[in-house]
Every structure is written in C-alpha cells, then in structure tokens.
Structure 1
Amino acid sequence: MNLSLLLAYVLSVLMLVVTPGPVVALIVNTSMNAGPRQAVLTALGTNAASLLLALLAVLMLTTGLALDPRLIGWVSLLGCCFIGWLGVQGLREVFGPAPVEAAPRTDQGRQGLASGFLVGIGNPKDIVFFASFFPQFIQVTRSLQHSALLLTLVWVLVDFAVLGAYILVARQGFSLKYKRLVTGISSLALLLVALLGLGYAVLELSNAGAQR
C-alpha cells in the first residue's frame, strides 16, 4: 500500500469536505431548523450520492465507460436548480413571518435522504472531484478493486465525520442564538453555488453541442 498517496488522498478529501459548499450549507440549515436527526439523515443522503459518483468513476476506469458530457451537464444543471430552490426557500424563511409549529411528518426521514442525495449528486465540487481527482489515487494499492473500496470507504468516513461536526456546531447555543443569521448566510451560499453551477453547466452544454 502506498501510504503517502493514501495520506494525500485523505488530506484532499478533508479539505474538500471542510470547505463550505452546498452540502455543508444544507446540513447546517437542516440541523438548525429540523434538528440533528434530520440532519444526519440528510448527510446519509449526500453520502449515497457520493457512493454513486464513486461507482461511476470506478466503472470509467475498469470498463472504459465514457459518460456523455451533455449527460453530466444536465445532471449538474438539475442539481443546481434544486440547490437554488433550497436557497430561495431558506431566504423566505429568514425574511418571511415566523413559521407556525407543525406536527412532525412521518415522511421527514425520506425527505431528508432525498434532499441530501439530490444536492450531493448535483454538487459541482463533488462531480469534479470524482471525475478528475479520484482516478489519480487509484494506484494506492496493487489491486484496482481494493483501491476503489479503500478510497470510497475513506471518503465516506471523512465526509460523515466532518458533516457530523458541522451538525454538532450548528446545535450549540451561539449558533442557535443567531439562527436567522446563520440560516440566511447558508441560504445565500446555496443560492450563489446554484447560480455559479448553472452558469458552468450551461457553458458546458453549449460547448458539447458545438462540438457535435
């Protein structure tokens, strides 16, 4: 096993996950407004999206699978639209009237998983990582299958640990005291990422169409 390459991968994943983005903003928002349980379910949804992206990256390496750039562009476009919608909803909560407490819904868990998955699968940062950087570390062991399993496991552990830390921080007294401010900043971050991602996805789709 190439320990130096593995360490470089761990640090790369750590820096990627710690850096605020749509997933972090969604987790913080969910933790503050719906509680830690819902936030954990949302984190599981983002992890499921990461596993799917990792699987596609491995298939591209082992089978020569080549994904149509237009397909990637459309997935990113739809994901950014959903991220933007979440940002708008968050801003409406901040600047609108105080919400009326409602009885908990039985489908909240499924909603959290679905929201996390959709944000994760359309997150431009994760798409770029698994399409471009993930293959650079596949030689961490002599076996491609073992390397893919190890790299995916490291990603899941680091990702869930960092998101868990964000969930705990979001439930601290300081964060709850400035709940509307933190929610507003998180929602603006979601909206900004969505707009940038939309611009990038539209540009990529235009370039793909011009090359046909």
Structure 2
Amino acid sequence: MFGAKKCLYNALGSICASFILIVISLAGIAFFLNGIWMNVLSILGALLLIYVGISGFKNIEINSVGIYEHTNFALFKESFFTGISNPKDIIFFITLLPQFINQSIPYFVSATSLTVGWIIVDFSTMMGYAIIASIIAKKLNQSAINKMRKASGFLIIIIGITLFAKNIFILTYL
C-alpha cells in the first residue's frame, strides 16, 4: 500500500528497533528484564498492537500512481515503536543468537558479525516482501486493499487482546 520505495523507511525503523534489542540481548541487559517487567512491557506491546489493528480499519485513499500517501518519518516511527515495544524479540534474540557466537574469536567480533548478518538478512527479507506486495497491490483496486487492511487489522487486534489478557492473567496470579 505504500509502494516499495516508501517501505524502505518502514524497514529502517524495524531494523533500528531490532538493532537495539540485539545489542541489549547480547550485552546481557535482557537478564534484568525478566519477571514482572517483561509482563509490563508485553502489556504495552499488546496495547500498541491493538492500536495498530484499529488503525487498519481506517480506509485509505490511493493516489493516481497507486501509492498511499504517508510521510517517511511516520512510516519509520510506526515501525520502530512496533518493533521496540515487543519484549519477546529480546527473548528470541537471547535464545537464538548465543548458538551462533563463535568461541574461537573475540566475543565483540563474533557478536558484531552476527548483528550485521541479522540486519542484512532482515532488511533483505522486508524489502523483498515490500517489492512483491507492491506488485500485487497494483493489481488490486482500492476497495480490495481496504478490505485486506480491515482483515489484517482484525487479526492484529485479536493477537493484541490475547497477549494483553495473557499478561494481565500472569500479573494477577504472580
């Protein structure tokens, strides 16, 4: 809906959030984000998901070239805050990344190589998806795009409500 060029800013926001979470994970700071704080951050992330889902119900208008008008900074910011507010990424990075740390070289070098590799693969995947989605979106009319946005928004709201309820339940019975 944004076009492949605009998705660059969305991808950069997501990668910046991932970079921060990878650094936190590899630095061991994630150890301090356990227990109640992880649940509090999860609740905030769930609320953000619900907000993003609700925003999917707003009809968009495609301009004459088939691209939805949205500022580059708004795309970056939305993607960054969605990514950084997901504490489950820290858990993912903590469990995944140590398996690939090369013990025969200094930790910093190995961690840096791993981080750069992750960013390259993540960015390539997001941009590949953006290019494919842009091609498909050009073949759809505005009504079909808005219906897909609403369906996606509904699913995101369901995920957000489920995460919210789960974390409230955990906090209640800790």
In which range does the TM-score fall when normalised by the shorter chain?
0.7 to 0.9
Which 5+ residue runs of structure 2 have no aligned equivalent?
Answer: 64-68
Aligned residue type for 2:129: Y
Instruction: Tell me how far 1:168 sits from its aligned partner.
Output: 0.8
Instruction: Tell me how far 1:99 sits from its aligned partner.
Output: 4.6
| 1:161 matched to 2:124 | yes
Instruction: Tell me how far 1:173 sits from its aligned partner.
Output: 4.1
Instruction: Tell me how far 1:131 sits from its aligned partner.
Output: 3.1
Aligned residue type for 1:120: G
Partner of 1:171: helix, strand, or coil?
helix
Which has more helix, going by share of residues?
Answer: 1
Instruction: Tell me how far 1:157 sits from its aligned partner.
Output: 0.8
Residue 194 to residue 64, structure 1, CA distance change in 2 (3 Å):
closer
Instruction: Tell me how far 1:77 sits from its aligned partner.
Output: 1.6
Residue 37 to residue 74, structure 1, CA distance change in 2 (3 Å):
farther
Whole-angstrom distance in 2 between the partners of 1:174 and 1:92: 17
RMSD of aligned residue pairs (Cα, Å): 2.9
Partner of 2:36: 70
Instruction: Tell me how far 1:115 sits from its aligned partner.
Output: 0.5
* Counterpart among 37, 40, 58 of residue 26 in structure 2: 58
Instruction: Tell me how far 1:146 sits from its aligned partner.
Output: 1.4
Identity %: 24
Instruction: Tell me how far 1:175 sits from its aligned partner.
Output: 6.1
Instruction: Tell me how far 1:71 sits from its aligned partner.
Output: 2.4
Instruction: Tell me how far 1:36 sits from its aligned partner.
Output: 2.7
TM-score normalized by the length of structure 2: 0.79
Residue 182 to residue 141, structure 1, CA distance change in 2 (3 Å):
farther
Count, aligned residues:
167
Which 5+ residue runs of structure 1 have no aligned equivalent?
Answer: 1-31
TM-score normalized by the length of structure 1: 0.66
* Counterpart among 46, 55, 72 of residue 80 in structure 1: 46
